[in-house]
Structure 1
């Protein structure tokens, strides 16, 4: 079992709940903090003391208060941690459900587990800890189901994502076609733009451009 665990969570009640779950697993050394900056300092200090943490459990969202901060989110903390302790095991514990963001944390930042906050969070967290300890990646059931249904994301290219961004800004199809023509992008005619939009509607099962934009935002594409 992990011996030295750091919890980064700004809500005190949740912090205590996670700590209680770790105690049930008989983890001997548990350190908690409510700030990402403090978490990074504790990780660096533990490395310097030659007793590094072997697991970080972190939320993604940290509310601002009176204190000035350098790191304002769990994602920023993860990036910083990876530069000083690349092999540290990391479990994200969050309510964030945008699958594009979650997929980025897994694919780009190589987090080891993603646990969704909710009714089963304690049992879910225990499963994640055991899985990560055995060298496996773990995601909560709902997150796992979403990840299995994001093949459509890989089917969008950079121009599709730009098109979605322009639609989100309220541009009409004719305006988007003009923009693509000005930038000399491929498939820049009005008919090509309409075909791209229709393709994206099919991929995301959207009936209108507004619904398409809403789905793209929810999935973290824009």
Structure 2
């Protein structure tokens, strides 16, 4: 079991809940930080005295307040941590569910687990800890299901993503076709635009353009 765990979370009530969960696992040393800068300082201090943390549990979103910050998000903290302690186990504990964002964290920073905040979060945290102790990656079931569908994203290209962005801004199909013509993009006729939109609807199982945009936002494409 992990011996030294650092929690980076700006909400005190959530901090206390995670601490209780870790206490139930008999983890002897649990330290909390409400700012990413403080979390990094604690990690550095632990390394200096040769008592490094074994696990970091961090949120992604940290609200701004009166204090000046260098690191403003969990992602920035993870990047900084990987630079000084690349073998540190990391659990992201967040409400973020955009699959594009989550996949980026996994691909870029090689995080060890992603646990979605919610009703079963204590159970999921315990499962994540036991799983990564076996050097396996863990995701909450809802996130794991989204990741299984991530091939959908790989089937879109840059023009599809631009098309979705323009739709989300409220542009009509004719306006999008004109924009593509101005930029000399391929498949810029109105019929081509219609075909692209229909392809994306099939790909993402969307029945309307509004639903398509909502799904694209949810999956981190726009």
The answer to whether the superposition gives a TM-score over 0.5 is yes
Distance 1:129 1:182 in 2: 53
In structure 1, the residue matched to 2:99 is: 99
| Deviation of 1:76 (Å) | 1.6
Distance 1:85 1:92 in 2: 16
Deviations 1:7-45 (A, max 9, x none): 001111111111111112121221101111111111122
Matches for 1:132-143 after TM superposition, within 5 Å: 132-143=132-143
Deviations 1:60-108 (A, max 9, x none): 1112222111222111211221222222110011122222222221122
**TM-score (ref. length: structure 2):** 0.94
SS at match of 1:90: strand
Distance 1:84 1:191 in 2: 53
| Deviation of 1:178 (Å) | 2.1
Distance 1:209 1:194 in 2: 11
In structure 1, the residue matched to 2:117 is: 117
In structure 1, the residue matched to 2:182 is: 182
Number of equivalenced pairs: 222
In structure 2, the residue matched to 1:162 is: 162
SS at match of 2:109: coil
Distance 1:108 1:184 in 2: 33
Does structure 1 residue 147 correspond to structure 2 residue 147? yes
Distance 1:18 1:48 in 2: 26
Distance 2:130 2:187 in 1: 49
| Deviation of 1:50 (Å) | 2.1
SS at match of 1:180: helix
Does structure 1 residue 43 correspond to structure 2 residue 43? yes
Deviations 1:103-153 (A, max 9, x none): 221122211101111222112111101111110000111111222223211
Does structure 1 residue 195 correspond to structure 2 residue 180? no
Instruction: Name whichever of 173-182 and 60-69 sits farther off.
Output: 173-182
In structure 1, the residue matched to 2:128 is: 128
Please list every run of 5 or more consecutive structure 1 residues that lacks an aligned counterpart in the other structure: none
Distance 2:181 2:86 in 1: 44
Distance 2:184 2:7 in 1: 49
| Deviation of 1:59 (Å) | 0.9
